[in-house]
Structure 1
Amino acid sequence: MNGDLLRLYGTNEREPESRTLVAGDLSVTLQDGNLRTLRFRGHEVLRAVAFLVRDKDWGTCGAEIADLQIGAAGPGFSVSYKARFTAPSGAHLDCAITITGTEKTVTFSADCVSDADFETARAGFVVLHPVIGVAGQPVTVCHGDGGVEHAHWPDQIEPWQPFKEISAITHQVAPGISAVTEFVGDIFEMEDQRNWTDGSYKTYVRPLALPWPYSVPKDEPFSQKVVVAIKAAADAVPAAGASGAIALHLTPTKQRFPEIGVGLRPECLGQERAALGILQAIGARHLIAHFDPGAGHGLPALKGYAELAERSGLKVTLEVAVPCKAPLNAEMAELAALVRKAGLVLDTLFVCPAVDRQSTPPGSVWPDCPPLADVYAAARAVFPRVRLGGGMMSYFTELNRKRVPGDLIDYVSHCTNPIVHAADDLSVMQTFEALRFVVSSTRAIYGEKPYRIGPSTIPMRQNPYGSSTKDNPSGCRIPMANVDARHNGQFGAAWTLAYATTVATTGLEVLTLSTLAGSFGLVAGEGEAVAQGKLRPLARVLARLGALTGQAVHAVETSRPDAVLGLASEECLLLANITPEVQTVILPSTPRAVTLIGEDALPVAGQVSLPPYGCIEIVL
Structure 2
Amino acid sequence: MDSNTLFFGPWSATLRGEELVDIRHHGSPVLRGLRAVVRNHNWLTLTPTVLSARTSESPGFLELVLDLGWGGLGARYAGEVTFRFEPDGLAVAFRGTAMEDFSSNRIGLVVLHRPDDAGTAVTVTAPDGGTTVSVFPERISPHQPFRDIAAMSWEREGMSYRLDFEGDVFETEDQRNWTDASFKTYSTPLSKPFPVRYRAGDEVRQSIRLSARHSVRVLDEVTGQVPELGATILAEISSSPSAASCTVPASSAAERAAPLKQPLDARIVADSADDAVGLVRQLPLDRVRRLGVYGAGTHVTEKELWVAVAEEAAKLGFQGELMAGARSHFTELNRNPGSALPEAAGITYSITPQMHAVETEAVLETLPMQRLTAEEALRIGNGRPLHVGPITLAPRFNAVSTEPPTAAELTPGGAPEPSPFAAAWLLGSIAALSIPGVASLNYGDLAEVEPARQLLQQLAVLHSCDVLKATRSTEIAVYPVRTGDGTRCFVANLTPRAAVVRLSGSGDSPGAGRDLELSAWQTATVQLP
TM-score w.r.t. the length of structure 2 is 0.52
Matched residue pairs, number? 308
- For 1:522 and 1:377, how far apart are their aligned partners in 2? 35
Contact in 2 for aligned 1:388/1:410 (Cα 8 Å): yes
- For 1:503 and 1:432, how far apart are their aligned partners in 2? 9
Contact in 1 for aligned 2:217/2:503 (Cα 8 Å): yes
- For 2:367 and 2:404, how far apart are their aligned partners in 1? 25
1:290 matched to 2:198? The reply is no
Question: Who is 1:500 aligned against?
Answer: 430
Secondary structure (helix, strand or coil) at the match of 1:304 reads helix
> Out of 378, 386, 389, which is 2:308 matched to?
378
Tell me the amino acid that sits aligned with residue 332 of structure 2: E
1:308 matched to 2:259? The reply is yes
Question: Who is 1:21 aligned against?
Answer: none
Tell me the amino acid that sits aligned with residue 477 of structure 2: L
Q: CA offsets per residue over residues 460-503 of structure 1, 9 Å max, x none?
A: 11111335889999xxxxxx996498652001110111111111
Deviation, structure 1 residue 335: 2.6
Question: Who is 1:433 aligned against?
Answer: 368
Question: Who is 2:340 aligned against?
Answer: 405
> Out of 411, 431, 448, which is 1:522 matched to?
448
Question: Who is 1:257 aligned against?
Answer: 226
1:445-594 mapped onto 2 (5 Å cutoff): 445-466=380-401, 483=413, 488-515=418-445, 521-523=447-449, 536-558=450-472, 561-570=473-482, 571-589=487-505
Deviation, structure 1 residue 411: 0.4
Q: CA offsets per residue over residues 328-379 of structure 1, 9 Å max, x none?
A: 2x3343233323xx67632221111111139xxxxxxxxxxxx833322222
Q: CA offsets per residue over residues 154-198 of structure 1, 9 Å max, x none?
A: xxxxxxxxxxxxxxxxxxxxxxxxxxxxxxxxxxxxxxxxxxxxx
Secondary structure (helix, strand or coil) at the match of 2:292 reads strand
Tell me the amino acid that sits aligned with residue 224 of structure 2: Q
Deviation, structure 1 residue 390: 1.0
Secondary structure (helix, strand or coil) at the match of 1:433 reads helix
1:352 matched to 2:313? The reply is no
Secondary structure (helix, strand or coil) at the match of 1:264 reads coil
Question: Who is 1:618 aligned against?
Answer: 526
- For 2:340 and 2:444, how far apart are their aligned partners in 1? 28
Secondary structure (helix, strand or coil) at the match of 2:391 reads coil
Contact in 2 for aligned 1:472/1:484 (Cα 8 Å): no
| Deviating 4+ runs (over 4 angstroms) | 296-299, 467-473, 480-487
Secondary structure (helix, strand or coil) at the match of 2:363 reads helix
1:169-180 mapped onto 2 (5 Å cutoff): none
- For 1:495 and 1:608, how far apart are their aligned partners in 2? 18
Contact in 2 for aligned 1:302/1:344 (Cα 8 Å): no
- For 1:455 and 1:581, how far apart are their aligned partners in 2? 29
Question: Who is 1:337 aligned against?
Answer: 281
Secondary structure (helix, strand or coil) at the match of 1:263 reads coil
- For 2:419 and 2:255, how far apart are their aligned partners in 1? 29
Greater C-alpha Rg: 2
The 1:618–1:548 alpha-carbon spacing in structure 2 relative to 1, beyond 3 Å, is same
Question: Who is 1:391 aligned against?
Answer: 325
Contact in 1 for aligned 2:230/2:460 (Cα 8 Å): no
The 1:521–1:573 alpha-carbon spacing in structure 2 relative to 1, beyond 3 Å, is closer
Secondary structure (helix, strand or coil) at the match of 1:488 reads coil
- For 1:481 and 1:576, how far apart are their aligned partners in 2? 32
Question: Who is 2:163 aligned against?
Answer: none
Question: Who is 1:317 aligned against?
Answer: 265
Secondary structure (helix, strand or coil) at the match of 1:449 reads coil
Tell me the amino acid that sits aligned with residue 491 of structure 1: F
Question: Which runs of 5 or more structure 2 residues have no equivalent in the other structure?
Answer: 1-26, 30-210, 242-246
- For 2:513 and 2:407, how far apart are their aligned partners in 1? 46
Tell me the amino acid that sits aligned with residue 524 of structure 2: I
Secondary structure (helix, strand or coil) at the match of 2:269 reads strand
TM-score w.r.t. the length of structure 1 is 0.45
Question: Who is 1:215 aligned against?
Answer: none
Secondary structure (helix, strand or coil) at the match of 1:250 reads strand
Deviation, structure 1 residue 549: 1.0
Secondary structure (helix, strand or coil) at the match of 1:509 reads strand
Question: Who is 2:204 aligned against?
Answer: none
Give the structure with the higher percent strand: 2
1:71-90 mapped onto 2 (5 Å cutoff): none
Q: CA offsets per residue over residues 561-585 of structure 1, 9 Å max, x none?
A: 2201111112201111111122222
The 1:460–1:546 alpha-carbon spacing in structure 2 relative to 1, beyond 3 Å, is same
- For 1:432 and 1:300, how far apart are their aligned partners in 2? 37
Q: CA offsets per residue over residues 51-95 of structure 1, 9 Å max, x none?
A: xxxxxxxxxxxxxxxxxxxxxxxxxxxxxxxxxxxxxxxxxxxxx
- For 2:240 and 2:377, how far apart are their aligned partners in 1? 29
Secondary structure (helix, strand or coil) at the match of 1:428 reads helix
Secondary structure (helix, strand or coil) at the match of 2:265 reads strand
1:203-242 mapped onto 2 (5 Å cutoff): none
Root mean square deviation of aligned Cα: 3.8
